[in-house]
Structures are given as structure tokens and as C-alpha cells.
Structure 1
Amino acid sequence: MGKCNIDHSIGDVVNKLESQKEFLPNHLADGTRVFLQRELPQETLNDLFHLLKKYDLSSESEQKERNEAIEKMIAS
């Protein structure tokens, strides 16, 4: 995934999560929802947005990589 120059708001990330939650493992969707209740740096919001973006269109191996990245992010 390339870097984007757009800063995504917390609202953008929440909306993206809501649009992709049916495709995410339940524990990730729930964990991400809790994670987003924290005050997060802009870079984290941007990274999470791009992990969620087009998640449903990603291959199974790409989804696995994204899942691992999200799990690592929300565990920190």
C-alpha cells in the first residue's frame, strides 16, 4: 500500500470501519472500535484507514496481512 497525502479524520476511519466490518473478523472489528475511542496520532488514523480501505476487495493473503497489521496496531 502506498502512502496517501490526505489526513483522514476519526470520522473517516469510523465510517470506513463501519463499511468494512462485515468482512473483518469479529474480534478485529470490535477491537478496532474500542481502539478508535483513544486519542490517536494522525499517522495512526491514516494507516488504519488504508488498512481498512477496500479490505473487502483484497485477496485472502492480503486480508491476512492487513489483519496482522491491525492486530499489532490495536494491541499497542
Structure 2
Amino acid sequence: MSTMNISLPETLKAFVDEQVSRRGYGTSSEYVRELIRKDQDRLQLRGLLLAGAASNPATPADAGYFDGLRDRVRKAANTNAKA
């Protein structure tokens, strides 16, 4: 694992220390890693949303579409519950 040193103003360091304590992180590094992972997820989701917004609709989003979507989600949930 690589090491990275960062400088923070005292107010931000105090905030990080408080979050580590309140949220049960073992170290400030764990907290920062979690923030970075969440930012990666947010950027990935943003990219997917932008790609979806730029794409042409394949089928209308009518009641049948949502019924099929619900069925797929239920099947996936049942499959994951059995695993």
C-alpha cells in the first residue's frame, strides 16, 4: 500500500478526528479511504447517468416497462438471498 501525506487546516483535522471517533473508523486513513471510494462511486454513477441521458430511448417507460423492471429486481433479490 502506498503512503500519502496531506496537510489540513486545524479545523478540518478536528472534523476528521471527530468523524473517525463518531463513526467508528479505526484511523483517519480509513475515513479518508472511505471518502475516496464514495467519490469514485459518485463519479461512476454520474458518468452512467450522463451516458444514459445522451442515449436514445430504446422503449417507452410505460407501466409494462416498470412491471418488467420490478420482476427483474425481485428475481435478482431472490437469487442473492439464496446465495
Alignment TM class, shorter chain as reference? under 0.3
Higher helix share: 2
Higher relative contact order structure (alpha carbons within 8 Å, sequence separation ≥ 6) = 1
When Rg is computed on C-alpha atoms for both structures, the one with the higher figure is 2
